[in-house]
Structure 1
Amino acid sequence: MKDQQSVLKIHAKDNVLVALTDLEKGSTITFENKVYIIQNNIAAKHKFVTQDLVAEDPVYMYGVLVGKAKKSIVKGELISTENLVHDTEHYDVKDSKEQEVWQAPDVSKFINKTFNGYHRNDGKVGTENNWLIIPLVFCQNRNVEVLKQALVEKLGYGKKQHLSLDVDALINDYKSGVSTDAILEKDILIEGEDQSKNLLFPNVDGVKFLTHDGGCGGATSDAVTLCHLLAGYINNPNVAGATVLSLGCQHAQASILQDALSKMALEHPKPVYVLEQQQSVSEKALLAEAVKKTFVGLMEANKIERKPAPLSKLVIGLECGGSDGFSGISANPTLGYVSDLIVGLGGTTVLSEFPELNGVEQELINRCTSSEKAKKFSHIMSTYNSKAEALGAAFSMNPSPGNIKDGLITDAIKSAGAAKKGGTSPIEDVLDYTEQVAKSGLNLLCTPGNDVESTTGLAGSGCNIILFTTGLGTPTGNPITPVIKVSSNTKLFKKMSDIIDFNTGTIIEGSTTIENTGESLLDYVIEVASGKQTKARQLRQDDFIPWKRGMSL
């Protein structure tokens, strides 16, 4: 018989068990005094049913409805897209709410801990000190690239990356008549130099360039949203100021950006230099002026130094991408525990990706601190899904091929595990895309499930750290906010250690608990918030994709 730890039942209501190791067809599993004969070869992370089911019977996981049987499924049989279809429970909002008293976890270990951050005039604290160079429209991307070439290396940010590829060696071999096989076997990896040396402005962590394909030619509403997103990036505590390039005639007008920014930071404006090409005597003059103003801005930004700040100043985004069947068991609950610790310390966390909350709406509604916030969440969810359905998609279509291959068969299964990132604390606020975080505690932020669009939104709403869980691996980063990559399993952590920062696979292996792992992760967060570089930072993974509200899951 297999050891009892080869499977896991997540919730008492569940009628599926999760395979923690590969299970062979015909093997016998004993769990909670019940015997199961495995009907298929079942890879780790996948699930089998604990009872015979017929078509339309419900399937429960994490204690919630995650699907219904498409046909008969026998006890011990693997659930898959062949026999299971997405299904969720209905949800509603009551006019009056009785909020349950929340019991925060023990935070005594962290109560006196601090991180070294950049204190802003508005009372916020950045974990980095960056300067932004932003185009309001895609036709300024080339000018932004010219500024990047002019500034980055000269200021000390252009040292070799984590590794280099010796293409010159391949060219020389080709010219020498070396065979194809010899070229394929050649080692061309070269370790890079330390990027932190020789910075002209040592208190400025980076000059970041936010190129994009928007601003004109699409829906005017998307251009306006883009302006609000860019204003949110400037307003982020990790940013000291910005240089903005405008053509002049585009939909994303500088006045829209400035109006949005004034509402976000009315009393404590940051230096923002707006240059319009159609008002300049030449492109060269525009670029020269941009370089000079950026340089002056960097001189001022460099005067700010890291100083101790309480953990209540952390605003942590909670994200997942490339999820697997272990994400909702190890990595996501670990983030949930970190979220509860931060909320218990008076800090702020932000749970995003609304398509991946499909099926757990009622739980989240019940946790909202007011009916107003609950109604706002319900309205955004239903409107978003209806719009997706009208365009030929739906939340139910959210799982990617990689998700399905690794055990996330329906969006409801994916969502039930993804929601674990939000812990158990009350939901203090519900934000639509680009709205700014204003309340401490747990916030919900409407973003799509697309990894980069979502992390882009989290930074744009004010997050100064992002925790990002993955079961399959992804190099995703963000230009202004450090992204800490957290693996759900040890195999991934070892295989992709160049892009993964932290491992929670020990929870699956039974050698540690969610609570202990969460405390260790928070210690790591403090290091990153104080200047430790994440793997995404080392690789300069500065992903930035504004969400076009027209359609994206």
Structure 2
Amino acid sequence: MVLPATARTLRLQPQDDVAIVVTDLPAGTPVDADGRAVPLRADVPRGHKVALRAVRRGAPVLRYGQIIGFAAVDIEPGDHVHLHNLEYREIERDCEFSVDARPTELLPESERATFQGYVRADGTVGTRNYLGILTSVNCSATAAKQIAARLRHSGILDDYPHIDGVVALTHGQGCGLAADGEGIEVLRRVMRGYLTHPNFAGFLLLGLGCEDNQVRALTDGLPLRADLPVFASTIQELGGTRKTVAAGVERLTDMLPEADRARRTTVPASALILGTNCGGSDSASGVTANPALGNAVDRLVRHGGTGVVGETPEIYGTEQLLVRRAVTREVGEKLLERIAWWREYTAKNGGSMDNNPSPGNKAGGLTTILEKSLGAVAKGGTTALTDVVDYAAPVTAKGFVFMDTPGYDPVSVTGIVAGGAQVVCFTTGRGSAFGCAPVPSLKIATNTPLFAHMTEDMDINAGGIVDGTSTVEETGRAIFERVLAVASGEPTKSESMEYGEEEFVPWHIGTVM
């Protein structure tokens, strides 16, 4: 899709009742509606919707060829369609399992892409080479941060150019919850995912000592790599905070020489697990960055790799489209089970699935969760859905995989990284500030004004799709090639800004007692 430079609006499907305006338009501006000029009846901001035909009160309103909401009042051609006249309602969705699932045509081995990665002892491949400090409980967070700061400020890392740094992964959980059950299991699943992540060359696992989430319980039975040194202890064992910081610095310093021996080698793109996420979305997200990222995911899948989509509340209302692509009925039913869990979860807490669009999303032109989801699901491309996994569970299937995560960006990406993703692509229309150390995160702007305004934070501009200077396919190819470059060591904007530590946020679903 290339939008003509003279176009004022973008209509995605012939049956759509609305189009998106591509620049701020004042009242009275004529827009094309089925071959006739219709004057705008109000000012319409960039990215917002204008009605192209009359829609009676209570009737569905279509965008993407799908229902995005219902007319709260009579809507006339030329009306600004937004929160004042479009409302959410639950709709019945017929689920046909696997009817659109097609086998992926993999490229011949000789044509598949490669990148420069760190091959670990267990055969997994890293895109970065970090030492990590992982806390079992909030009580050890301060000591962990002090250890990381001491190493960074000492200058010793300058002597080890093949180490990307030291990252302290702290959080606010680990105690005051049941010693077994879903809450602590989710936390431990995240921590085990990071402990086995190929972007790490060594770990300090640090607890307080008396917490529910015991350090020893995290490593018991966990198959750690032969080339991954892990020092596990607690502040109480080591004799207090100062002694813990000194011991932590000493242990990590001892790991530096061996970690620095790691070297990048040529590996196939099939070793990549690409995590995807969208945050600060706007109306262009489903037109530019998300479909282009989906195109990049399709490319990676054809090269034998894996693309992961999460944010279950942000695909709500499109699950019937995904189950059509499920390779088996079982995979499709796993997705529907997670949707049912979320409906119960939100209702139990006095919420609604339509509470998802944020104020920023709405300011950017989005209205209901149905509209937001139709844009968000485009990140998954067009290939078959090969698996649905729980939050932070290991991603083992090749192809397009869905992970059950919340829509909150740091929590979502923390789970996807725990699942094994070594690169993340993050689309944004409003300008999200995000990183996810130890994994590089590429930021993709949905529109050119954002890319120009926050150029130091954005890696790729997908706005050319609407500007008329690029296509979804061309931008998708550019994203895919950039993913390979970043996997090979090219730094991202979020890495240069030192984002990533504070964005480690395991999902907290357990009861706090």
TM-score interval, smaller chain: over 0.9
Unaligned runs of 5+ residues in structure 2 are none
- Confirm or deny: 8 A CA contact 2:15 2:62 kept in the other structure: yes
Residue of structure 2 in register with 1:225 after alignment: 186
1:533 alignment counterpart? 491
| 2:294 maps to 1:333 | no
Match of 1:212 among 171, 175, 199: 171
Q: Distance in 1 between matches of 2:80 and 2:30?
A: 14
Fraction of identical pairs, as percent? 33
Shift of 1:93: 4.9
1:128 is matched by which residue type in structure 2? R
Q: 1:247 to 1:524 in 2, by over 3 A?
A: same
Deviations 1:1-35 (A, max 9, x none): x9862111112332111111222212222244233
Kept in 1: contact 2:102–2:383 (CA 8 A) = no
Q: Relative CO higher for 1 or 2, CA cutoff 8 Å, sep ≥ 6?
A: 2
Shift of 1:112: 4.4
Pair 1:429–1:155, CA change in 2 (3 A): farther
* Structure 1 partner of 2:211: 250
2:488 aligned with 1:547? no
Deviation at residue 54 of structure 1 after TM alignment: 2.1
Deviation at 1:222, TM superposition (A): 2.8
Q: Residue 99 of structure 2 contacts residue 325 of structure 2 at CA under 8 Å; is this kept in 1?
A: no
CA contact 1:241–1:270 (8 Å) conserved in 2: yes
Amino acid at match of 2:232: V
| Alignment match, 1:360 | 318
Q: Cα distance, 1:229 vs. partner?
A: 0.5
**Matches of 1:246 and 1:207, distance apart in 2:** 18
Q: What amino acid is aligned across from residue 208 of structure 1 in structure 2?
A: V
Judge conservation of contact 1:67–1:86 (CA < 8 Å) in 2.
yes
Deviation at 1:374, TM superposition (A): 0.9
Give 2:29's aligned amino acid.
S
String of CA shifts for 1:340-388, please: whole Å, max 9, x gaps.
Answer: 0000110001001111001111000111111111111101111112211
One-letter identity of the residue aligned with 1:237: P
Q: Which moved more, 1:38-47 or 1:481-490?
A: 38-47
For 1:456-471, what aligned pairs fall within 5 Å after superposition? 456-471=414-429
The CA deviation at 1:456 is 1.4
Give the whole-Å Cα distance in 2 for the aligned partners of 1:150 and 1:501: 31
The answer to whether the 8 A contact 1:3-1:29 is kept is no
Structure 2 residue aligned with 1:167: none
**Alignment match, 1:177:** none
- State how far apart, in whole Å, the 2-side matches of 1:33 and 1:292 are: 73
Deviation at 1:39, TM superposition (A): 1.4
Q: CA deviation at 1:88?
A: 5.1
Tell me the CA shift for residue 89 of structure 1. Answer: 3.6
- Find out whether 1:498 has 2:483 as its counterpart: no
How many pairs are equivalent? Answer: 504
| Alpha-carbon distance change, 415 to 268 in structure 1, aligned in 2, over 3 angstroms | farther
Alpha-carbon contact 1:64-1:360 (below 8 Å) kept: no
Look up the match of 2:383.
425
2:7 partner SS: helix
Match of 1:182 in 2: none
Q: 1:12 to 1:211 in 2, by over 3 A?
A: same
Structure 1 pair 103/144, CA: closer, same or farther in 2 (3 Å)? closer
- Which deviations, in whole Å up to 9, do the C-alpha atoms of 1:435-459 show, x marking residues without a partner? 1110110110111111111111111
- Cα RMSD (Å): 2.2
Tell me if structure 2 keeps the 8 A contact 1:93–1:378: no
Counterparts of 1:108-507 in structure 2, within 5 Å, are: 111-156=111-156, 199-218=158-177, 220=179, 221-259=182-220, 261-262=222-223, 270-507=228-465
SS class of match (2:153): helix
Deviation at 1:253, TM superposition (A): 1.4
Separation in structure 2 between the aligned mates of residue 497 and residue 432 of structure 1, nearest angstrom = 35
Name the CA distance, whole Å, in 2 between partners of 1:346 and 1:236: 20
Aligned AA (1:398): N
Evaluate the alpha carbon distance shift between residue 479 and residue 454 of structure 1 in structure 2; reply closer, same or farther with a 3 A threshold.
same
CA distance in 2, matches of 1:7, 1:61: 13
Match for residue 91 of structure 1 among 90, 93, 101 = 93
Normalising by structure 2, what TM-score? 0.93
Contact 1:275–1:290 under 8 Å retained in 2: no
Relative to structure 1, the CA distance from residue 394 to residue 111 in structure 2 (aligned partners, 3 Å threshold; closer, same or farther) is: farther
Relative distance call for 1:100 and 1:141 in structure 2 (3 A) is: closer
Counterpart pick for 1:67 among 47, 66, 69: 69
Distance 1:3 1:149 in 2: 51
Label 1:46 to 1:459 Cα distance change in 2 as closer, same or farther (>3 A): same
Deviation at 1:63, TM superposition (A): 1.9
- Determine if contact 1:92/1:362 at 8 Å carries over to the other structure: yes
1:254-292 CA deviation, whole Å, 9 max, x = no partner?
Answer: 233114733xx5x75732211123333444443333222
Distance 1:514 1:211, change over 3 A: same
Write the distance in 1 (CA, Å) between the matches of 2:404 and 2:88: 22
Q: Runs of 5+ in structure 1 lacking a partner? A: 158-198
Q: Structure 1 residues 3 and 253 mapped into 2: Cα distance closer, same or farther (>3 Å)?
A: closer
Structure 2 CA distance for partners of 1:88 and 1:506, relative to 1, 3 Å: farther
Whole-angstrom CA distance in 2 between matches of 1:60 and 1:476 = 32
* Residue identity in the other structure for 2:433: P
Give the CA deviation at 1:102. 5.0
Give the stretch that moved more between structures: 420-429 or 269-278.
269-278
**Structure 1 position 57 matched with structure 2 position 93:** no
Output the CA distance in 1 between the equivalents of 2:90 and 2:468. Answer: 31
The answer on whether the counterparts of 1:325 and 1:407 sit within 8 Å (CA) in structure 2 is yes
Q: TM-score, normalised by structure 1?
A: 0.87
Query: Structure 2: how far apart are the matches of 1:442 and 1:68?
Result: 32
2:113–2:303 CA contact under 8 A, matched in 1: no
Tell me the amino acid that sits aligned with residue 120 of structure 2: R
